[in-house]
């Protein structure tokens, strides 16, 4: 092994292919970023994919969420983290299994925080396998620091003026503050 690897870049490539990490990312948190960074070291290319047709009511538009992901991904290496040059944020329509096939991806990555994530994720993994049995879902355990962290908790804290450092990247924090000012402005 050559000795000039950054410590965070030690993860072995377990697959040279394309992995997909789907989610709402409304907004992207440090918990998501931890999964992105770890998964990016295990594949040739990682697509961070936002489904356009989810019915969930979101705070940020798909375009805003893509923009935040791009910012966070490009600044990660500059802030001393692993370079995420093989990570690409994308939005898709329709079924994740179809999108994965079109991208040539055979692996879906999901994060697991607690048992409460398991049932839903188990169902989704089995349904995706039913739709395309060449598709594998792999689960990565959350970093223990982020077990309690979710986008909805972040939005709740932001709406109520709480501290967000340690939960979201700085640029996401700034956008949350701006968004909340805009929302308040619209309601007056
Ligand atoms: P959230 O559940 O926070 O609204 P998403 O729907 O965007 O987030 O989640 C996308 C994926 O990221 C899911 O697989 C989810 O389990 C995972 N994830 C979300 N937050 C974390 C976290 N703090 N640690 C690990 N994985 C996470």
Q: Which structural domains are found in the chain, ordered by start?
A: 12-148 (3.40.50.620)
Closest atom of ligand 1 to 153 CA is: 3
Say whether 56 is catalytic.
Answer: yes
Query: With 70 as the cut, is the pLDDT of residue 5 above it?
Result: no
* CB 24 near ligand 1, within 6 Å: yes
* CB 151 near ligand 1, within 6 Å: yes
Catalytic residue among 45, 101, 106, 113: 113
At 117, the pLDDT band (50, 70, 90 cuts) reads confident
Say whether 151 is catalytic.
Answer: yes
| Prediction pTM value | 0.89
Q: Is the dihedral of CA 7, 13, 18, 23 positive or negative?
A: negative
Say whether 178 is catalytic.
Answer: no
pLDDT in tens, 51-85: 997 667 899 999 999 999 999 999 988 877 788 99
């Amino acid at each position: 092994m050559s000795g000039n690897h950054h410590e965070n870049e030690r993860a072995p490539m377990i697959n040279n292919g394309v992995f997909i990490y789907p989610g709402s990312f409304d907004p992207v948190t440090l918990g998501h970023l931890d999964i992105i960074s770890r998964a990016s070291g295990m594949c040739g290319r990682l697509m961070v994919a936002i489904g356009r047709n989810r019915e969930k009511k979101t705070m940020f538009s798909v375009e805003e969420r893509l923009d935040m992901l791009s910012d966070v991904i490009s600044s990660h290496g500059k802030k001393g983290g692993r370079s995420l040059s093989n990570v690409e944020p994308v939005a898709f329509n329709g079924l994740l299994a179809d999108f994965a096939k079109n991208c040539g991806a055979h692996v879906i990555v999901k994060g697991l925080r607690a048992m409460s994530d398991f049932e839903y994720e188990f169902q989704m993994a089995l349904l995706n396998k039913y739709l395309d049995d060449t598709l594998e879902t792999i689960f990565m355990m959350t970093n223990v620091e982020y077990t309690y962290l979710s986008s909805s908790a972040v939005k709740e804290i932001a709406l109520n003026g709480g501290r967000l450092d340690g939960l979201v990247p700085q640029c996401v924090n700034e956008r949350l503050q701006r968004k909340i000012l805009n929302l308040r402005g619209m309601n007056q």
